[in-house]
Amino acid sequence: MKRVELVFIPSPGMGHLVSAIQFSKRLLDRDDRFSVTILSIKRGDVTKADAYIASIAGSDSRLKFIHLPHVDPDPPPQQKPVEKDNTHRIQSQNDLVKEAILNHVLPTTIPLAGLVVDMFNSSMIDVAHELGVPSYVFFTCNAAFLGFMLYLPTRHDQVGIPFRESDPDSVIASYVNPVPSSVLPSFALESSIVVKGHGYLPMVNHGRKFKEVDGIIVNTFYELETHAVNSFLDDKTPPVYTVGPVIDLENKNHSGVNQVKYEEIMKWLDDQPPSSVVFLCFGSWGTFSVPQLKEIALGLERSGHRFLWSIRLRTSNDRFAPLTDSPNLEEILPPGFLERTREVGMICGWAPQVEVLAHKAIGGFVTHCGWNSILESVWYGVPMAAWPMYAEQQLNAFQIVRDLGLAVELKLDYRRDGELVMAEKIEQSVKCLMEPDIEARKRVKEMSEKSRKAVMEGGSSHASLGRLIEALSVAVGK
């Protein structure tokens, strides 16, 4: 294959951006005949995404970044329906994407092999069609959820309305067990409030657009989601390439305040017995109400287990307000809790999740079930307690508990604005999670070994990436 160019168009959210960049680096490591340009979509103010891109650009000269001009932010919801406006905002980037490719990519002597668009940027598949080049979706969630997304337009054409919470369990080919409506993503439910534009009809349209592409690249591995991957072996689904786990295991250069926090956390873990600490961390958007935090505190204390707990609160009542790492814990948590648990627990704000999960002291992970967090936990062989919060996390929780047996249930159908999970339930789940002989611990240890073999030469993901490279080479001519 001659030298060819790939253009990646990730979403600006960290969970999407990091996976796309790490995958592009893996592709370059595998075959240096590729050249990669990443189109960076600007969200407005400088964010963690901007800092991450700057660090990657400074450390890996193989990646070329083109920063697209900023598109005006969405107007307030009361001025325009959020669902429609967010769709318009994404689609408004299409002209900018096409212009960037015409001006900065095509003029080079390297032929363009295709566009790799994020799952939320499916409207940009049209840009590939207009340019006459192959298009691929980089799907940052799991294969089972991909199956759900592909199922949505088929169901919509038959039914025409979102799911109702009273609906019977749904048979979805990518899931082993019938799926209760209670664990479907909020966007799919008739009663849902549209969140940042990811509403029912836009998601139906994403699923429809996925069927137009030349391939779908999924951050998973065959051994983890055998049933889901096998469900795509039909003539209706584009080729699916399982290339995971794609995890950022290298970004360990913490600076400033984070370096101090990092050293403090790791020093505390070094002093704990092996597999004795339960780690609670709920992602970059994960936060709880003060009453729920009090119930978590009581549940942890009653469980009797050591804990490392990441607590972050919003700076205002706006559900999208920034998080703070420095809440007044004395005012928030039950009276005397901090003093009573001083010898067995540590509370932090930001936490270096990858390094924490890798530490020998960690025996269990209470997680919001974001897919990146699940892959990291599997990689390090840490069993999970599933406490989903938003997006597709309820479905992820259902899958890892019911279909895969890698986690114990805490609250599969929890929603951020839902009911209070009481201390007794949290205590029971933590005790179950930390038992040394639970089936989930055994299964996740076995899957950890398989995850590492999958990306090695001869492994399933290594072979799948090879097939993707072959498809790209055929598209541009060997």
Residue ranges per structural domain of the chain: 4-244+455-476, 256-451
- Backbone phi, psi, residue 310, to 5°: -90, 115
Cα 223 from chain centroid (whole Å): 19
Peptide bond into 245 cis (omega under 30): yes
Low-confidence ranges of the chain (pLDDT < 50): 76-85, 195-196
Instruction: Write the Ramachandran bin of 38: left for phi over 0, alpha for psi from -120 to 50, otherwise beta.
Output: beta
pLDDT at position 287, please? 86
Task: Dump pLDDT digits (tens) for 99-136.
Answer: 999 999 999 889 999 999 999 999 999 999 999 999 99
pLDDT of residue 81: 47
Equal fold, 4-244+455-476 vs 256-451 = yes
Cα–Cα separations (whole angstroms), residue 66 to 97, 99, 102, 446, 464? 10, 11, 12, 41, 28
Per CATH, which fold does 4-244+455-476 belong to?
A: Rossmann fold (3.40.50)
Pair 397, 412: CB distance under 8 Å = yes
3-class SS of residue 246: coil
Nearest alpha carbon to residue 90 among 64, 57, 119 = 119
Q: Tell me, what's the pLDDT at 228?
A: 98
Helix (H, G, I), strand (E, B) or coil at 386: strand
Closest CA to 110 of 33, 18, 261, 5: 5
Q: Residue 312: what pLDDT? A: 85
Q: Which of 234, 149, 217 is nearest to 188 (CA)?
A: 149
Q: What is the pLDDT of residue 322?
A: 56
CB 228 within 8 A of CB 147: yes
Query: d(Cα 461, Cα 217) in Å, to the nearest integer?
Result: 11
Give the pLDDT of residue 44: 54
For domain 256-451, give the CATH number. 3.40.50.2000
pTM of the model: 0.93
* Lookup: tokens for 250: 């290298």
C-beta of residue 382 within 8 angstroms of C-beta of residue 444? yes
Contacts 24+ apart (CB under 8 A), 259-266: 261/348, 261/349, 261/350, 261/351, 262/352, 262/355, 264/348, 265/308, 265/346, 265/348, 265/351, 265/352, 265/356, 266/352, 266/355, 266/359
